[in-house]
Structures are given as C-alpha cells and as structure tokens.
Structure 1
Amino acid sequence: MNTLDSTMISSFAPTGKLRVGINLGNPILANENPQTHELYGITIDIAHEIGKRLSLPVKLTPFKTAGNTVDAVKSGDIDLVFVAIDPVRGADISYTPPYIQIEGAYMVKTDSPIHENDQVDALSNEIVVGKGSAYDLYLSREIKNATLLRAASSQAVVDDFMSGKGNVAAGVKQQLESDAKRYEGLRMLPGRFMVINQAIGIPKARPQYEQTTTYLSDLITQLKQSGFVAKSMHEHKIEGAKVAE
C-alpha cells in the first residue's frame, strides 16, 4: 500500500489534526447521540482508522446537510469529507472509489395515482428533495418535466411534503421510511431511482492532492477487502446499503 511522507501529510492536514466533515443529513453514514452529542456511524469509524494509520488526531465536525459539508471542504476548513460522488462536486473535490452504495427512492401519498418510478417525471408533478443533496444534484440533471421543490435539508423533506408541498418526496430510502413513521397515509414507490456511491473526498486546492487521493483510495480498498466496512455496517445496524464493489 502507498504511504504518505511528512510533506504530503502536512499538505493533507495542515493544522496537524485531521479535520473531518461529518454529514448528519444521511443516517446511513452518521448519527449523533441526542443526550451526549457523541457522533457515531461508519464514517466516524473510517475517519478514526485514517487518523490512526497516519498518527494524526481526528477532529470531527458535524454538518446538517451534505451541501454544508461540501462547502466546508471547498473553503479549506475541512481536510476530508464523506459524500456522494457527483460530477458537480467533482470540480473541487477529489474522490476515492466508493466504500458503500445507497439507494435513492420516491415516496407518495397512499391515494396518489403514481405507482412506478417512471411516472414521476411528468409536468403535473412536484418533487420535494433536500437542497444540495446528492439526490438534488442527480434529479436536477435528470428530471426534464417535473418541478423540483427544495427542502432545507434531507431530514426536512417528509415534513415539507406533509405540510402540503409537492406530490412526491425523494431521498435516501431509509431516511424517508424512518421519517414516514411519524405520519399515516404514505407509501414508497417500488425499487429505486438511483444508486449513490459514497466516497471520501478531499479538496483539489491542496498541493499533492493526487498522491493523497491515491493513498486514501488504497486504504478504502483495503478496508473493504478486510471486512472493516462490512463489520462497521453490521455494528451500526445499517440496512439498505451494501459494501461497494
């Protein structure tokens, strides 16, 4: 496996700490204990493993949305993030291969005439999606006829939907299903409208970011092959996602 010399480590983590942005907008990736505010999840496990291998202390900074997390890495306030691979973000962020894959799904009211994913992109439909999320970026490219209504975050999608906005909700299948438990009269559309590859991202503005990306890519491959990622998913009871190939 490739290694990082002291110069590259200084470029990667210029403050002497590995500052990691944690996206709390996706419960498959990370969560926060409401009493202790301790962060936990697969991304936290991987972040600590990277810090351990580089002998760097890890500073975790939580963000409510993926968009805020990406903004922080673009501004240089964060050294590393865990976000969905997306070509728009890729202009500023260098990605590793994915470590897990997550499904994006649609939800509608029980009495909705929509029963299949391919019925969603119609002029009469309005899709509620979390602003700046991977689903927002994907649907902004792919939806040709329906209108997108952006909620403040992925967690706010179902509440906005139930308050009367739109007639379709879009997001992480597990997030939608979890939020829907607070309401009645909702159903998921079968299948998925997209598969999201979650990866590590670092800022392209840093010197020698290519070498750092190579190191992190090798590390992610090793963590997948060794069973580290699968074990973390099992320990955190993650469902609806799989270890990326």
Structure 2
Amino acid sequence: MRAAASILAGFAVPPAAAWSQPRTAADGAAREALAPTGRLRAALIVSNPVLVQRDAATGALGGGSVEPARALADSLGVPLEPVPYAIPAQYAESLAGGAPWDAGFAARDPARGEFVGFGPTYMEVDNVFLVPPGSDLATVGDVDRTGMRVAVPRGSAPDLFLSRTLKNAEPVRVPGGVEPAVEVLASGRADAYGENAHLLHGVMARLPSGARILEGRFNVVQMAVAVPEGRGAAGLDHLGRFIAEARRDGTVARAMKRAGLRGVRVHRPER
C-alpha cells in the first residue's frame, strides 16, 4: 500500500463546497458504526480512473469514489481519511485481512460479499474487451474460445466475473492500471483485455492504430459502498438513505461529469 500512499501524498480532497453533497444527517449510532475512530476511513483503488482521478492543475482528488466518499464523511460530520490501494488485488486482500477501513468504494461482487456488507448501488460501469491491432475478434461473444488469452487486473471485478464465466479462454492476471494493460497487449501476452470502458479508452490511445474495443459489453459492474461485517444495522441504514439522496440530487452524476467518465451511469433502481 506504500506505493498508493505516495500517489495520494501531497494531494487534497476538495472541500464539500466543491460540490453539492447530500444533506442526510447521521445519528450517533450511525456515526459510531461508520466512523468509530472519529474519521471516515475510505478505501480507494487508485489504479482505476473511474474511481480515483487527480486534477493536473490543483492536485485535488476526484472521481467516482472520492467525491461520494467526501460527501458521506460530511453527512457523518467527520473528516475523510483516504485509505489508498494501488491495485485491486491489494484491496481484495484487505477484505480477508479484517478491512482496516470503514467504507470501501468499489464493485459489488459475491466473492467480496463474504467479508463485507454492501449499501445500495450508486453507479453502473460497463466492462468491455480491448483487442490489439490485427485481431479478428469482432464482439464480446467471440472472446471465450480455446486458446484465447484474456488479461484482467488481478483481484478486480472483471477478474472475479470472468473467472466464474469463462469456459474456454485462459485468464492472464496482471496488476491493475493503464501501464500493465498497455504492456500485456503490446507484448502479445494476451489476445484481449477485460476492464471498464473508461480505462480501456485510455489504454487504446497508447497502442498502435488498429487497437479497438469490441462491440458489446461482457458485464455491468455495480459500484457500491462496502462496510466491514459487524458494524451494525444503523450504519447500513444511514448508508442506504445517503446513497438514495446522492443519486436523486445529482451528487453522483456531477462527480461522473467532472471526471469525464465514459461507459458509466448513475444506478436507477427499478420501481
């Protein structure tokens, strides 16, 4: 986690005035459940630009997890303390190790649900495949073939999903982020890379002409706030009210717009 901490060192999360955050107020039981140390320790996966971005001019952190995390801390009346993870695998390891944080802003997945409880989904993220120049693949349905090598970020939501669903193709697990994705495709070690559409547009721009995102999506990831087991119902009740208001009043939508996210939507529960 030291590398991730260095990424965040010296950079500030903008104050609440930078956006209109939900006004859901917490009672003492909710504050004790979600911020027992007097701070909201928020787990952030910094290699995923859907979740964490840094403003080049100001150095302020933003993105699809940072802004909701700051707003949640404000609703609890406590400061935000980022707990950064450089890659998804480190975040996944923290779940089994007792989760040294209070709220994890990441993908909802059954494998993670063994260790944490989830609040409502606040954001949906399209997962797609990127292929290098010269590939004969056309759609996501073409990928799961014998002999195909599909790279994924180790421990990520795409890794968890494809590990359950691929029948013929071989997963190739690499660290998360743009650089490992560029390397594994440019070197020919993988025939396709599965990740969120926003990150893969950045990867595609780094590859030779002819690299492309296949038609369709292989999964829609639901981003939610994870809470370590045993925190009590009061915390999850507050989280449910907070997320509902954040979706309704535009907090989540504004965070996505400022980050310029592609292939991402506010989750709208079915009525």
- Give TM-score scaled by structure 2 length: 0.83
Q: How far apart are 1:135 and its partner, in Å?
A: 0.1
CA distance in 2, matches of 1:130, 1:73: 17
The residue identity in structure 1 corresponding to 2:239 is L
- Contact 1:129/1:170, CA 8 A, preserved across alignment: yes
**Which residue, 195, 200, 212 being the options, matches 2:225?**
200
CA distance in 2, matches of 1:33, 1:69: 23
- Contact 1:101/1:197, CA 8 A, preserved across alignment: yes
CA distance in 1, matches of 2:219, 2:70: 30
Q: Which residue of structure 2 lines up, in the alignment, with residue 21 of structure 1? A: 43
- Contact 1:100/1:243, CA 8 A, preserved across alignment: yes
Q: Which residue of structure 2 lines up, in the alignment, with residue 178 of structure 1? A: 202
Q: Which residue of structure 2 lines up, in the alignment, with residue 41 of structure 1? A: 63
- With over 3 angstroms needed to count, the CA separation of the structure-2 counterparts of 1:227 and 1:11, relative to structure 1, is closer
The residue identity in structure 2 corresponding to 1:201 is A
The 5-angstrom pairing of residues 1-245 of structure 1 reads 4-33=26-55, 38-74=60-96, 75-155=98-178, 156-184=180-208, 185-204=210-229, 206-208=230-232, 210-245=233-268
% identical aligned pairs: 27
CA distance in 1, matches of 2:240, 2:87: 24
CA distance in 1, matches of 2:87, 2:238: 27
SS in 2 for 1:49: helix
SS in 2 for 1:157: helix
Matched positions, count:
243
CA distance in 1, matches of 2:81, 2:251: 21
Q: How far apart are 1:145 and its partner, in Å?
A: 0.7
Q: How far apart are 1:12 and its partner, in Å?
A: 2.4
| Unmatched segments (≥5 aa) in structure 2 | 1-22
- With over 3 angstroms needed to count, the CA separation of the structure-2 counterparts of 1:61 and 1:67, relative to structure 1, is same
CA distance in 2, matches of 1:189, 1:30: 25
- Contact 2:132/2:185, CA 8 A, preserved across alignment: no
CA distance in 2, matches of 1:13, 1:94: 15
- Superposition RMSD in Å: 2.1
CA distance in 1, matches of 2:33, 2:119: 17
| Unmatched segments (≥5 aa) in structure 1 | none
The residue identity in structure 1 corresponding to 2:187 is S
Q: How far apart are 1:34 and its partner, in Å?
A: 6.5
Q: How far apart are 1:3 and its partner, in Å?
A: 6.3
Moved over 4 A (4+): 1-4, 33-37
